[in-house]
Structure 1
């Protein structure tokens, strides 16, 4: 279930990296394939409070307006979005979701954190040699992503209804967003790659033949970045902070990156097992609202209560129990446990059971069985 989208590069190295290389021309790719299953899964995690009850890739509300019977990434009529505000919001979310997709597929970057989680916050002592600061007012880049301690980059994602070319004033305004922050390691400003990722969304009314990605690779101010393990760990921590927040566990996510840590008190969580892989997870069911159980859980038991939740859910989202244990220890101030969290092999072959490289799982609730209550 793929669609093709055009792509154009600016200020990239003359020699393309392997996964951006068109082998027939020995130049950069002119089109990339978008796996709608994976894109939808990313969207459902991105917009976790969207409880509409759709089907297959149309669970991404915007995608139900794709023109049928074509391999183009093009929308019907003036979609996605019915009104002006709806179109603007759909464009924003589509741009950010495709940016996450591009990082995973073409930059091999499983860790992506929101810059806003770092600016103006007191980071933990373990990140004392890292400082992410605002230099001036105005918008800053959206994300900072990482593959490892050497491959780290800033990203600004845009979604628009027309092609804004690299030489237009809007693109120049986007470039200035990278001048508003500094990434400082050991008191030295670092020059990271600063990617601008624009998605021009085609539909039947704006006459674009197909949607198009324009991505630019300018460098930011500072000394040339080589590597930094602490910055990589901060990004990894910020990535899992967002994941835990999606699971309603922001108090753990905050303790992973900020100065105030968890104490040694134990916390109890239900565990779940994938019927497909037998891996254990800590997670939640996304409930179809409105939903009311006839009795509260204390009237008939926690297992029966969880079964009721499961039967009225549209999907399960969780994180591997081994990773969760490590994150709890990191949140208590034991930073060495972060090094035990390694990239997984993702599995996107089954849209009912999608495993991401960061150890998270998005799947049909019927593919999950309730385990027991464990203390962490």
Structure 2
């Protein structure tokens, strides 16, 4: 399922290749499609430590607050009635849109919350770049990485009021980049490329002429020289990104090791359940993870086939209204690599195998380049317990 959102860019030179074809009149009046399953996937990774509130991608909890139009339009005059709920919902969706935009159109795969970056101790033997707080106040939301060397700062905003690159609010958001700094091993302040992604959510009360719109700007943080490569920082971002995924698949020791930069002794092993995807385009691909029951809370029916495969059906296969259980996991080779990082340190992030981009094939399935997957459990068959 897709919805459309308008967008406008500032200081992106050149324009991201994926947006060139849908840009009109010099980055104005352009729109882009949003895969709602992927938007939910980013929202889940960003906000939920464990189980999502409703694991069915087709029932993304905030979608009920939007109309059924092809464009994003909030019902009534805003998200709910209470001011606190409206602000919280706008911020959560703003962060989901930020991660979605940077992932889809700027090839940024890994995200670490800034508070986790600032609080994460460096390895005693590490030499490289460091992120530090310059002054109190709101800092950018994320330190993110495109690959094992390129890192960026990112700030996400979401609101129902008007947004403009020229208004006072946007200028306040720019100043957040002044509150953190990056320095190299010699103590020299380094300037890093940043991204501000602010999403204005139009409401029914605004009228049809006002549309939801995403505003993206490409500022730099203060510094004496530009940041070229920062493998240590990128490795930290990757470790923090996967720490949250490890928590979701119930691997607390692995999660804590990645989050706190603590190496586990060799005798610590990681037992995990492996599943195999049964359908193209992921036939034979294996993932580590598990499932959450459907919204009725009923565990699925486990059936052993003659070919020794196990499949899952709804508890009552005669009923077509029951929702399937939802699988969440991470690709097996990547999971194995994370266990190696936990034992050997962040620098082993360079050995994580890449996961290819998977083209859209089902609105109930989302697979990201970090190897994480959300899908109906019917697509997968359990292989068995493995020790890593």
TM above 0.5: yes
1:287–1:309 contact (8 Å) kept in structure 2: no
Q: What's the counterpart of residue 330 of structure 1? A: 341
Relative distance call for 1:82 and 1:127 in structure 2 (3 A) is farther
In 2 relative to 1, CA 179–51 (structure 1 residues): closer, same or farther, beyond 3 Å? closer
Instruction: Please give the secondary structure, in 2, of the residue aligned with 1:318.
Output: strand
Distance 1:177 1:334 in 2: 31
Conserved 8 A contact 1:273-1:371: yes
Change in CA separation of 1:170 and 1:336 when aligned onto 2, cut-off 3 Å: closer
Change in Cα spacing, 1:320 to 1:8, as seen in structure 2 (3 Å) is same
Q: Distance in 1 between matches of 2:126 and 2:164?
A: 38
Where 2:228 maps in the other structure, the secondary structure is: coil
Equivalent residue, structure 1, for 2:286: 280
Deviation for aligned residue 1:82: 4.0
Aligned to 2:31: 31
The one of the two structures with greater contact order (alpha-carbon pairs below 8 A, sep at least 6) is 2
* Aligned match of 1:375: 387
CA distance in 1, matches of 2:296, 2:122: 39
Show the counterpart of 1:194: 194
The reply to whether residue 266 of structure 1 matches residue 303 of structure 2 is no
Q: Check if 1:240 corresponds to 2:242.
A: yes
User: What's the TM-score once normalised by structure 1's chain length?
Assistant: 0.86
Instruction: Identify if the C-alpha distance between structure 1 residues 185 and 310 changes in structure 2 by more than 3 Å, giving closer, same or farther.
Output: farther
Which deviates more from structure 2 when the two are superposed, residues 313-322 or residues 284-293?
284-293
Match of 2:357 in 1: 346
Distance 2:181 2:53 in 1: 40
How far apart are the structure 2 equivalents of 1:89 and 1:24?
31
Alignment coverage as a number of residue pairs = 361
Task: State whether residues 272 and 386 of structure 2, in contact with CA within 8 Å, keep that contact through their aligned partners in structure 1.
Answer: yes
Alpha-carbon deviations, 1:55-102, whole Å to 9, x = none?
Answer: 653x2222123322x332212212433432222221111101111110
5+ long unaligned stretches in structure 2: 300-309, 316-322
For the aligned residue pairs, the C-alpha RMSD in angstroms reads: 2.9
Shift of 1:290: 8.7
Local SS of the residue matching 1:90: helix
Could you tell me whether the CA contact under 8 Å between 1:329 and 1:335 is conserved in 2?
no
CA distance in 2, matches of 1:257, 1:56: 27
**Post-superposition shift, 1:268?**
2.0
**Aligned-partner Cα distance in 2 for 1:328–1:185:** 28
Segments of 5+ residues of structure 1 without an aligned counterpart are 294-305
The residue that corresponds to 1:203 in the other structure is: 203
| CA displacement at 1:248 relative to structure 2 | 2.9
Q: What is the distance in 2 between the residues matched to 1:73 and 1:142?
A: 24
CA shift for structure 1 position 154: 0.7
DSSP 3-state at the match of 2:165: coil
Q: Deviations over 1:146-176 (max 9, x none)?
A: 2135542111101101123222222222112
Shift of 1:53: 4.5
- Return 220-229 or 100-109, whichever deviates more: 220-229
What is the alpha-carbon distance in structure 2 between the residues aligned to residue 82 and residue 262 of structure 1? 48
Question: Which is further off, 307-316 or 25-34?
Answer: 307-316
CA–CA separation in structure 2 for the residues paired with 1:87 and 1:355: 29
1:127–1:352 CA distance, 2 compared to 1 (3 A) = farther
Secondary structure at the counterpart of residue 176 of structure 1: helix
